[in-house]
Amino acid sequence: MKLKMWGCALLLSSVSITAHANDFSLGLNDNVISTDLIFDLNKHSNASVGYIYSNDGGHLASTAMHIEHDAGIHHFEIGAKYSYVWAKQSANGSVVGIGGRYAMDLGSNVSFHASGYYAPTVLSFGSVDGQYELDSKVQFKLNPNLALFAGYRNIRFQYDNASNSTFDSGFYIGGQASF
């Protein structure tokens, strides 16, 4: 199973990202590995694609688009995120979550990041009846192109005719490379 998990991560990271991606991040803990590519579309918008593999939850692929705004040490992003889940213990399905990301520069190369998305029933498809996702992390920049982070993530799906399911809930560590 670990070979499959690492294979998925290597496949995603082997995509030619140097020509198009601005940020590539990789996070992991004992049961979960996640990757994320963020592309700047222009000065005030970005797009991202991500993948999470969870030993307990299954696979989650996502794509998002955000409008950005900077106000001093604060960075805001608001947008939509489409996610498709191939769950191990529940039915598969997709959601469109509305939410965004926030970052605050704390000084001395340390920053705080948070994100949250909510998908109501009307934006949930297949057997999925809703979803919420919360994430926060503290990041330390080693240099302008490399950062390390530690955080906590909680992703939960609601189902029509089955028990609700927590896809991922726990602490993680990782790194981010900027191109």
**What residues does 28 pair with on adjacent strands?**
33, 173
Q: Given the structure tokens 């805001």, which residue do they identify?
A: 76
What lies within 8 Å, CB to CB, of 97 at 6+ separation is: 80, 81, 82, 83, 117, 118, 119, 123, 131, 132, 133
The whole-angstrom separation of Cα 1 and Cα 14 is 20
pLDDT tens over the chain, length 179 residues: 554 555 444 444 544 444 455 999 999 999 999 999 999 999 999 999 999 999 999 999 999 999 999 999 999 999 999 999 998 888 899 999 999 999 999 999 999 999 999 999 999 999 899 999 999 999 999 999 999 999 999 999 999 888 889 999 999 999 999 98
Q: What is the pLDDT of residue 21?
A: 57
Q: What element of type H or E holds 10?
A: helix 2-13
pLDDT, position 174: 98
Q: What pLDDT is recorded for position 163? A: 83
Rg of the Cα atoms in the chain: 16
- The string of DSSP letters for 73-98 reads TEEEEEEEEEEEEEESSS--EEEEEE
Report pLDDT for 164: 87
In this prediction, residue 99 carries a pLDDT of 98
What CATH number corresponds to the domain at position 69?
Answer: 2.40.160
Domain that holds residue 33: 2-178
Domain total of the chain = 1
Which residues, in sequence order, are CB contacts of 82 under 8 Å at separation 6+?
A: 62, 63, 64, 94, 95, 96, 97
- What is the spatial distance between Cα 96 and Cα 74, in angstroms, rounded to a whole number? 26
HSE-CB at 168 with a 13 A cutoff on CA atoms is: 27
pTM: 0.85
Confidence (pLDDT) at 4: 53
> Rounded CA gap, 98 and 103, in Å?
18
Structure confidence at residue 18 (pLDDT): 41
